[in-house]
Structure 1
Amino acid sequence: MARLLSRSIRNMLVCATAVGALLSQVSAHAADGSVWQDIQKAGVLKCGAAVAAPYVMRDARSSEYSGYFVDLCRDFGERVLKVKVEFVDTNWDNLVAGLQSGKWDLAMALNQTPERAMAVSFSVPATDYQVSLLVNKDNPKFASAGTQVSDYDKPEVTFAVMSGTAQDKAISGVIKHGKIMRLPGMDEARLAVLSKRADVLVDASDTNHLFAIANADWAKEVLPKPALAKQGVAFGVRRDASAADLQVLNIYLTQRREAGEIDALVDKASAQVNASATTASK
């Protein structure tokens, strides 16, 4: 019995040693597979940059990048990872593919969609994309209106929207009483509201926000509740990024968003876009 027991104990010790070695290998492999550690070893964080104001902008003369996702990517690299940050010029067709092939480490300003999630991982949203309404705050038709679309859906109200867009599809699905003015471009839709031929401008919240800042004396932006076509706008990360890697980026974004710092960056970028547009028109 003692001999059998000793043999059992020896077998258990052998198994425990083997398991311990295996776990050590797995731990070492996981450490080696850290995206942020690899970037720190390389000394540079590469951010894929497809231009879309106010998220990502590029000066034609200096080739310098700006925009609130650019600010976030630069700050995350320099302050959290403590590495240099490099912006790699690309376009929207190649932004995801370049991330998959390792041409850059982060893809900036990606709308979270199930299709993209099949190819890349996402951080938590830095901001949200959704369809918003822009109205004249002095319009008596909206004296008691709140944030529900039904507050604006009246027979005497006209909604201006660019024909065939996601905004057109979203607003057409909820308007029961108002009139929808479908126009060939956003300039025509904005002009319709400026000239008071229409009462409500329907557009993506980021571009409506720019228009509201440029016309702060009369414009009021409304984010409907419940939201219309809402998606998170986030950083894209390689699929091999670990949960621990994502947690680092997610904590960073969550803290900056909850502190109101991302909203301030959005306003800064929006003001820059409007200033550039004013300069170009002179």
Structure 2
Amino acid sequence: MLRRTLFLLPPVLATVPALLVSGSAQAQGQSRSTWDQIMETKTLRLGAAISEPWYFKDANSTQETGGVRVGSDLWRGVGPLLGQEIANAMGVKLQIVETTWANGVAGLQSNQFDLMFILDPTPQRALSIDFSPAPVLWYPLSLLSREPASAPNWSDFNDPKYRIGVGLGTAQDQYITKILPKATITRFQDNGAVIAAFQANRIDAGCLTAPTADIARGRLKAGHTLLPKPINAVAAGAALRTEPDRRWRDYLTTVVSYYYNTGKTQEIYDQYMVFRGLDPAQVTPISRENWPR
């Protein structure tokens, strides 16, 4: 069955959005803490920005495993399934609130939702919202390459003969501009344009996050995901409101660590890759302990 794949930038790698509300101006009038609100309403509200493999609304309601139905919608991806695990553990129902990466900070501050996975911690965001100290998962920068390579180094690609595509102004752009000054770098508007250029053979490789590169391979039925060394790792976060009551933050830190350390988060990620027609053994793990050394 044909499915549409959305290649959206992970939030920490996109251009940092304007923080609409400062930390001092957040919803201080909220009478209840997040923990009390969840327990009293028996509802955990999860902010979701449509972006694979983190949040995907399955409009076709396909029958593959790895989905969670919230209201009339079937959701897939790390965010909805991890959110459902936490809601089940707390004995509450899960509600998914659609948003965007750019509006994630303001949505948390204005009490539109209680939690947002993969809204990664940055110094700017930390001025306005809080984060669980425990990473939800890890993902590295990679090259979607036409040719395989064993144990490559970034320096191997620092040559004008390599045509590398990257999203304009992203963290990937900043990184390879610094470490690959001799490579032939072409900058594109977004990840979709990078992948289209790769498919059309206008570039030899695209600098993408490993999850994006793996999903692109599944769609194109071509290419290889390379993790050049030194590996550039990004810690994916769990974002929440800043508030004096630390019970929600402490609980979230505990469960996020538990699901990561027991392999549950990796299991959820693998289910999504199977949904996209990929063998989990052939994709980059989100547990960095399992990355090649």
TM-score by length of 2: 0.68
- Call closer, same or farther: CA 1:81–1:173 in 2, change over 3 Å: same
Give the residue type in structure 1 aligned to 2:79: F
The within-5 A match list for 1:117-266 is 117-123=126-132, 124-138=134-148, 142=149, 145-184=150-189, 186-215=191-220, 218-228=222-232, 230-240=233-243, 242-266=245-269
Output the CA distance in 2 between the equivalents of 1:120 and 1:247.
Answer: 15
SS state at 2:179 partner: coil
Asked if 1 retains the 8 angstrom alpha-carbon contact of 2:57 and 2:75, the reply is yes
How many angstroms does 1:70 deviate by? 0.8
- The separation in 1 between residues aligned to 2:261 and 2:152, in whole angstroms, is 22
Counterpart secondary structure, 2:96? strand
Q: Deviations over 1:5-50 (max 9, x none)?
A: xxxxxxxxxxxxxxxxxxxxxxxxxxx9764354223211111222
Give 1:245 deviation, angstroms: 3.4
Q: Tell me, what secondary structure is at the counterpart of 1:160?
A: strand
The answer to whether the 8 A contact 1:77-1:84 is kept is yes
The yes-or-no answer on 1:85 pairing with 2:89 is no
Moved more, 149-158 or 68-77: 149-158
Structure 2 distance, partners of 1:46, 1:188, is 33
Two-structure CA RMSD over aligned residues (Å)? 3.0
* Higher-helix-fraction structure: 1
| 2-structure distance, mates of 1:163, 1:104 | 31
Q: Is the 8 A contact 1:133 1:208 kept in 2?
A: yes
Counterparts in 2 of 1:33 and 1:223: CA distance versus 1, 3 Å:
farther
Unmatched segments (≥5 aa) in structure 2: 1-30, 61-71, 279-293
In structure 1, what is the Cα distance between the partners aligned to 2:35 and 2:106? Answer: 20
Q: 1:175: Cα distance to partner?
A: 0.4
Residue 112 of structure 2 corresponds to: 103
Percentage of pairs with the same residue: 27
The one-letter code sitting in structure 2 at the alignment partner of 1:255 is: Y
In structure 2, what is the Cα distance between the partners aligned to 1:41 and 1:59?
30
Question: Residues 152 and 226 of structure 2 are in contact (CA less than 8 Å); yes or no, is this contact kept in structure 1?
Answer: yes
* Residue aligning to 2:48: 49
Of 109-118 and 90-99, deviating more is 90-99
Q: Distance in 1 between matches of 2:142 and 2:269?
A: 16
Which residue in the other structure is 1:15 paired with?
none
The 2-side partners of 1:49 and 1:134 are apart by 26
Counterparts in 2 of 1:244 and 1:186: CA distance versus 1, 3 Å: closer
Give aligned pairs, total. 236
> Equivalents in 1 of 2:206, 2:33: separation in Å?
46
Is structure 2 residue 57 aligned with structure 1 residue 58?
A: yes
Residue 6 of structure 1 aligns with which residue?
A: none
Kindly provide the CA deviation profile for residues 134-158 of structure 1, in whole angstroms up to 9, marking residues without a partner as x. 22344xxx4xx42431133334322
CA displacement, residues 98-117 of structure 1 (integer Å, 9 cap, x when unaligned): 22222221123212111111
Q: Structure 1: which 5+ residue stretches go unaligned? A: 1-31, 276-282
State the match for 2:13 in structure 1. none
Q: CA deviation at 1:210?
A: 1.0
Alpha-carbon spacing, 1:188–1:69, altered in 2? closer, same or farther (3 Å):
closer
Contact 1:40 1:83 survives alignment (8 Å): yes
Give 1:244 shift.
4.6
Larger radius of gyration: 1
For the residues of structure 2 that align with 1:235 and 1:134, how far apart are their CA atoms?
27
CA distance in 2, matches of 1:249, 1:185: 32
User: Cα distance, 1:90 vs. partner?
Assistant: 2.6
| Contact map agreement 2:101 2:119 (CA 8 A) in 1 | no
Q: Secondary structure at the match of 1:39?
A: helix
Q: CA deviation at 1:273?
A: 5.1
Give yes or no for contact 1:96–1:107 (8 Å, CA) kept in 2: no
Within 5 Å, which residues of 2 pair with 1:6-45? 35-45=34-44
CA shift, 1:214, in A, is 3.5
